[in-house]
Structure formats: C-alpha cells, structure tokens
Chains A and B, each alone.
Chain A
Amino acid sequence: MNNMSWSRYILILVVFVLVAGGVGVRMVSIQNIPAAQTILESSKKLVGVTQTIYPERGSIYDAQGHLLAGNETVYEVGLDLRSIAQPETIASVVSNVLGLDYSTTLVYAKTEAIDDEKLYIVLDSFVDKEKIAQLELIEEDYKNRTIGRNETRPSLEGLIWTPYNKRSYPEGDMGANMLGFYSFLDRVDGRGYYGVEESYNDLLAGTPKQVYTPFDPQKITSGDDIPPGASLVLTFDREIQAMVEQQLAEAIEWSGAESGTILVYNPEDGSIIAMATTPRMDPNYYWTQGEVFTGNTPFNRPVSETYEPGSVFKVLTMASALDAGAVKPETVFTDTGSIMVGGTTITNWNYGAWGDQDMTGCMQHSLNVCLSWIAMQLGADRFYTYLKNFGFDRNTGIDLGGESHWPLKLPGDNQWYEVDLATNSFGQGISVTPIQMAMAIGAVANEGRMMAPHIVKAIVIDGHQYEINPVIVGNPIKAETAETLTRMLVTSLEEESSIALVEGYTVAGKTGTAEIPTPFGYTSSVTNTSFVGWGPAEDPKFLVYVWLEKPTISIWGSEVAAPVFSKVVQNLVVLMDIPPDQIRLQASAEDK
C-alpha cells in the first residue's frame, strides 16, 4: 500500500474519531443540563406506566355464611379526549341516560386534549349497571344502524365506562351497628368507620401495591397477584339478629321507650350472637349518618353508651359478697326500710320495710337497703377490687370500633364518697356499657370464667380460614359462687312468678330500674329499665341483656324489660335449636 493510501485512511480515522468524540461530549453535556431530569422523567412515561392497585375489600359474612358486606360493580363514565368524534352525540346521549347537563357535557367533550395534562375527563362516578346497559344498547344500535349516503353514522367514540367495586350491604340496616360502614365515595382514602369495618379496617383493605405496566409488549410479564383484603366470618347469626331487631322494634313501640338495646351473648365463649339497638342507619347510604344520629347519639349504644344500670348490677354485688364469704345464701338480713351510709339514707324502691330476708329474698325483691348492707359487709376495698376484676375500670376490648367506658370511681378519688359504696351496690352512681355488663354477668353464667366478648369468629386470608379462639379474661369469682348465685336467681324469678319466665326453660335473671341522673339530681319520672338473664340455667347457651331507655308505659324494669326478655328467649331457643329442659335432660340422661 502506498503512502497516499495510508494518509487517506488516517484522515478517515481522524474524522471518525472526531465525530465520535463530539457525539460523546454532547451526550455527556445533555445528561448534565438542568432539563435532563425532566427529559428522563418524560421518557419513562413513554415506556410504561406505574399504578397503585388497591385490592378488593374483604367481605363480611355472618356465622351461617350470609353475605353482610360485599362488593358490587359500578362504573365510572368518562371522556377520552383524544378519540372523541362527535361531541354533540355524546352530550345528547349522556344527558338523556345519566341525567347530566347537556351544555356542560358538550363543553367537556369539545375540550382539546393536551398531552400529559388533559387526556381524560370524568363525567360521572358510581353509575349503576342498568344505565351502562342502556349506553351499550345505544352504542350497538349506532353500529348496526343503516344510514344513507350523505348521512353520518352517529358515534359514541371517546365515551368510555370503566367498572370498579363499590362496598355494598345487602342486609341494609340489619346489624349495621355492628358492621359499621366503609366510606366508599372516597375512592382513594376510603376507610371503615365504626363496628368491624373500623376495627378490622387494615385487614379488610389489604395491601395496596405499585404495579408497573410496560408499553413494550415484549416486556409484559404475568403481573403479581394482588390478594384481596381478608374476609371476616362473624359470630352473629342473621336470623337471630333479624328476630331480635324485630322484638326490639315492637318493644319500643309498645313501651314508648326513647331507644333500646338487646344484646345476645354466648357466656361460654364470649361470642356476640346478636346485638340490636336503635337508631340504626343503612350503611349503603352512610352519608345520612348526621341525620340519623343527632346530638350525642352514639353509633352503637351497646359498646359506646354508658348508663346507670340500676338493680341488674345487684347480681355483681351479690356475686362479690358470696365469693368473698361476706354473706351466704341463707344469711338473713332484717330490712327496716332504710339504712344510713355516709350521712345519706338509702331506701328501697317502694320505700317499704321487708323484714327478715335471706339473700335470695333480697335479690327477689330487689332490696336496695339489703344490697347496701351487703356491700358494707364486704367493705369498699374488696367491693371495688371485685368490680375491677369484673372489668368495670376498662374497655372490654370487643372487636368493634367506638367502644368506651366510664371511669370507675374508687375510694380515695376526689369524686368518691362513702355513700357511693351503697349506691354502687344497686347500680346507681356507676356508669357501664351493656357490653361490660354482659361480659361481667357472663362470668356468673359461665362457672366464674369471664370471656372476652368478640364478634369475629374467623378471618380468611390467602384462601385459609383462621378461627379466633375464645379468650378467658379472668376468673373474678369461683365456680361454686357462680353456681350458687345462678340457683338463687332461678329461684327468685320463679318465686316472683316473673313475666320474664319462659315456659319449658329454666332461666336465671334480674330486673333493673334506674333513675336517670340530671344536673339537678335523679329523676324518678323517667327511668332506664333493664333485664339480664341467661339460660338454660344449668348449662347456659345464651345471656340476654335488655335495656329500654325512658319507657312511658311503666317505669319498672320488671314490667317493661322482663317481658321483652321472655319474648326474645322464646324465639331464641327455637333459632338456636335448644330443646325444652324436659327433652334436653331426658336426652342427656339417655346418653349417659
């Protein structure tokens, strides 16, 4: 090769090196200019899109598998501004079918698309299936329509509808106080409020996931499965809940009560079988909450509202005194009609003197004087220790949102006076929630074992059902004490010929009538009437707590709450398949 050829080759090489060097320098400089980051971000949008996927919210079932909270399909209707062909047609159809304003829709439909800024406009959300079916019919009709030469085929191109889940509550307001609600109108920050929707919100919601979808089809791989939120199986039974709600509605109408609560609790394992209260709202329309719950009305009275329970509390005073050995069932108290405690005279409900009474008589006639004397025999320290053991100084921990409790006044507190020992003994001057009462008295029904109240029976995660085991919260009294007191309460109901009795079944129970505290002292014209009872007495399967607030038909628990208890139990034993004592004991004897 001659010198001329070599010099040409070298020249070409130099040119190539210079060009390559120039390109390299330019590349480095472009990557370091201030706009480089923006360009990089923009380029990412061209290769794929990252979206946050929210898992479907878990469903809620009752103990028999009836769906209580699920998801139904609704649609978002919007405009893809890049592909709108006939704005007028879209505006006309949308205003007819969805009831949206024609001119506003037309303005939206004529909006020019701006890349990365305005490509899509939402016209309407939560559109139901029927309306979407109408849109689909119209779209189909336009496609198949025969048109003349000079006519233009009408088109809905650019109008799109996208399905998504909306929380739904098929049973309406039934059990709504336990379920709570999910604020589904807020599609990004929606969450559960009250009931299980609140207390299990994180589990029900699942874990949102960032998912990247490349535009390059070769890079698409099978997406990660996004598991739905956990589903819950509750302990409550729909049929029993419906029955209890019906009984409560009838009781309120009959008694003229302002509100009511009926709680059906299984003392053996702490599960809630039914929990009816008023008022209730349909969680499908949760935005009506302000109209339904006016003033300080709580969403779920049984766990959120404290009240002075009255004589139903005597069950716990008697349980404490028997357990501590302060009294025995056969201990006789001579009731003179009054007792002086801390400078205050305590009288009976009828201001009468009942003479010699054993402890069953004291319970049967609901004698305030006797129970005050019993509390004094027990002593303040032991009495309040028992109350704390029964859980009155704290929340029960039930898995429902919005639980509260009233602080227990104790000796030594500024607000505690000596007379409180007496008044507390018969359920005055102490505020409790129905669920606290059910849990505490459940210990008497369940051989001294106090169970944690709970509403969730099982949680279903990733295709597996995890059962929730019952939890013993404590043993506030001995099994013998519980058995003795149950027998005493069975006797007191039977000897009183209470209207709480249920034919064929042995039940134990106690009435309660409580005057209502006001800023000007207690009112005796309006009361809180209560009844607590459980059965079958020797092997309790249910505990029913009834509370009717301010009944007008009578002020006495024995006349208002006791018959409600009886009616509830008459239906309950059928729904729970509990045969009458005679059949049950006979079958039990044959088995042995």
Chain B
Amino acid sequence: MNMKTKNIIQAYRQAPWRMQLQWIGIFLLILMSIAVIAGVYLSLSGKAAITGRRIQSLEYQVSALELQINDLASQLAYASSARVMSERAAALNMVQRDPAQAIYLEVPGYSPESFSLAPAPTVDNIPSPSILPEFTASLWDWLADTLSNLPGTAQGSLEAQP
C-alpha cells in the first residue's frame, strides 16, 4: 500500500461523514440513472403510443378514402351510364345517326388502344450473380490470362491498333 492510499484511508477514518457522503453519492447516482432510464422509457413509450394511435387513425382514413373512391367511381358510372347519356343526348335534341350515313375515313397508323385497368405483370430483372474469374479460373488460366494482357504482347499490340 503506498503513501497516497494510506492517506485517503486515514482521512475517511478520521471523518466518517465522508464515507456517508460517498454512499449517498452512489445512491443518488443509481437513482439518477434509474430516473434517466425511466424518463427515456416514458418518453419513448409515449411516442410509441402516439405513433400507434396515429397509425390507427391513418388506417381509418385510408379505409374511409377507399370507400369514398369506390363511391365516387360508382357515382360517376351512374352519371355516365348508357341510359343517362342517351337521355341527356335526347334532351340536347341530338338524334341517333342512321348507320347507312356513316362515313369511313382511314387514318394511317391509327389503331384504337384497348382499355387497360392496370399494367401487365412483368418478370423482375433479377441480376444474375457475377462471379469474378479470380474465383473460377485455375492457376494456369490466371497465369495465361495475365501473361496475355501484359503490355507489349502480340494481343495487346493488336488491340492497340486503330
């Protein structure tokens, strides 16, 4: 035990309040640590709860919007149904054309597009695994390849030609 340590022990023996202070300090440190952890936990769990409720609220909104979209699509379909359109045309004094009066004009290159509700499925382009030749070539292959690529070799010279 060196002198410095001895001095400290002596100091605590002479004044026991130092010992108590030390214990109190340790206790407060633990207490603070617990308080900090509890605070962080409360903060995070509060945020999680708020986020959870927000998710729930957004999901309700999504459901409500989906219902609304369906309803609006139906309303539009009712408003533009064949019967309604026919009645509207009649109200505008339109008359049905005699098919015999139809005039055909050829529009070069025009072909009517067929209705598509969604894109066709596609096969995702999965990149094929590329294995470097270093992992597949034999030592002899590697040596031959390296030598053939050396500057000044016949192949290298030919490739350099314009």
Can you show 26 pairs from A to B with CB atoms below 8 A apart?
Answer: A63-B114, A66-B82, A67-B73, A70-B70, A72-B70, A72-B71, A73-B68, A165-B67, A165-B70, A168-B74, A174-B81, A217-B48, A217-B50, A217-B53, A217-B56, A220-B52, A221-B52, A222-B55, A238-B82, A460-B118, A463-B119, A464-B119, A465-B116, A570-B100, A571-B99, A580-B104
**Complex: chain B residue closest to A567, CB-CB:** B99
Interface string of A479-523 (1 = CB under 8 A from B): 000000000000000000000000100000000000000000000
> In the complex, which of the residues A63, A70, A580 has the most CB atoms of chain B within 10 Å of its own CB atom?
A70
Knowing A56-B66, A573-B99, A574-B99, the reply to whether A583 touches B120 (Cβ < 8 A) is: no
| Inter-subunit contact B120/A164 (CB<8 Å) | no
- CA distance in complex: A67, B86 (Å): 17
Contact A574 B102 (CB under 8 A): yes
Q: Is the CB of A70 within 8 A of B74?
A: yes
Q: A171-B81, A171-B83 are in contact. List 11 more A-B contacts (CB 8 A).
A: A63-B114, A67-B76, A70-B70, A70-B73, A73-B68, A73-B70, A163-B64, A174-B82, A465-B117, A570-B99, A583-B106
Assuming the A-B contacts A70-B77, A72-B70, A583-B104, are A217 and B49 also in contact, with contact meaning beta carbons closer than 8 angstroms in the complex?
yes
Question: Contacts A67-B77, A165-B70, A587-B106 given: A220-B55 contact, CB under 8 Å?
Answer: yes
When chains A and B are docked, how far (Å) is the Cα of A218 from the Cα of B48?
5
A218-B48, A458-B117, A570-B99 as given contacts; A73 in contact with B71, CB under 8 Å = yes
**Whole-angstrom distance between the alpha carbons of A168 and B81 in the complex?**
12
Chain A contacts for B121, CB-based, 8 A: 464-466
CB distance from B64 to the nearest CB of A (A): 7
Return the 6 tightest CB-CB contacts between A and B, nearest first.
Answer: A220-B52, A170-B77, A67-B77, A217-B52, A217-B49, A579-B104
- What is the number of residues of chain A that contact chain B, defined by CB distance less than 8 Å? 53
Interface membership of A186, Cβ < 8 A: no
Interface size class of B (residues with CB under 8 A): 35 or more
Closest to B86 in A: A242
Complex CA distance for A503 and B66, rounded to whole angstroms: 50
- The answer for the CA separation of A85 and B112 in the assembled complex, in Å, is 62
Contact A71 B71, beta carbon cutoff 8 Å: yes
Say what secondary structure dominates the interface of chain A: mixed
**A223 and B59 within 8 A (CB):** yes
A162-182 contact mask (Cβ, 8 Å, vs B): 1 or 0: 011100101110100000000
CB distance from B112 to the nearest CB of A (A): 7
Interface residues of B in 60-107 (CB under 8 A from A): 64, 66-68, 70-71, 73-78, 80-83, 86, 99-100, 102, 104, 106
CB closest chain-B residue, reference A223: B59
CB contacts (< 8 Å) of A61 on chain B: these are 115, 117
Contact: B100 with A503, CB < 8 Å? yes
Do B74 and A71 have beta carbons less than 8 Å apart?
yes
B residues within 8 A CB of A65? Answer: 115, 117
- Is B45 in contact with A218, judged by CB distance below 8 angstroms? yes
Give bound CA distance, A213 to B49, whole Å. 14
Given contacts A66-B77, A217-B53, contact A73 B67 (CB under 8 A): yes
Is A124 interfacial (CB 8 A cutoff)? no
A157 interface hit (Cβ, 8 Å): no
Chain B residue with Cβ nearest A70: B74
| Complex contacts, A221 vs chain B, CB 8 Å | 52, 55
> Hey, what's the 0/1 contact readout for A532-561 against B, CB within 8 Å counting as 1?
000000000000000000000000000000
Known: A466-B121, A467-B120. A218 touches B52 (CB 8 A): yes
Contact B53–A163 (Cβ < 8 Å): no
**What distance in Å separates the Cβ of A190 from its nearest Cβ neighbour in chain B?**
16
Q: Report the minimum CB–CB distance from B31 to chain A (whole Å).
A: 24
Return the chain B residue nearest A68 by Cβ.
B77
Interface residue from B64, B70, B99, B118 paired with A71 (Cβ < 8 Å): B70
User: A231 an interface residue at 8 Å Cβ cutoff?
Assistant: yes
A174 to B75, CA, bound (A): 17
- Within 8 Å of chain B (Cβ to Cβ): is A8? no
Known interface pairs A239-B82, A460-B118, A465-B117; A219-B71 also in contact (CB < 8 Å): no
Q: A64 contacts the other chain (Cβ, under 8 Å)?
A: yes
Measured between alpha carbons, how far is A328 from B55 in the docked complex, in Å?
Answer: 77
- Residues of A near B68 (CB, < 8 A) are 73
Task: Give Cα A571 to B100, complex, Å.
Answer: 9
Q: Give min CB distance, B52 to chain A, whole Å.
A: 3
A577 at the interface (CB under 8 A from B): yes
Residues of chain B with a CB closer than 8 A to A216's CB = 52
Q: Does A233 contact B (CB under 8 A)?
A: yes
Task: Assess the B67–A231 pair: CB atoms within 8 A.
Answer: no
Contacts of A64 in B (CB 8 A): 115
- Chain B's closest residue to A173 (CB) is B83
- Cα–Cα distance between A231 and B70 once the two chains are bound (Å): 13
Q: Per-residue CB proximity of B110-131 to A under 8 Å, as 1/0? A: 0010111111110000000000
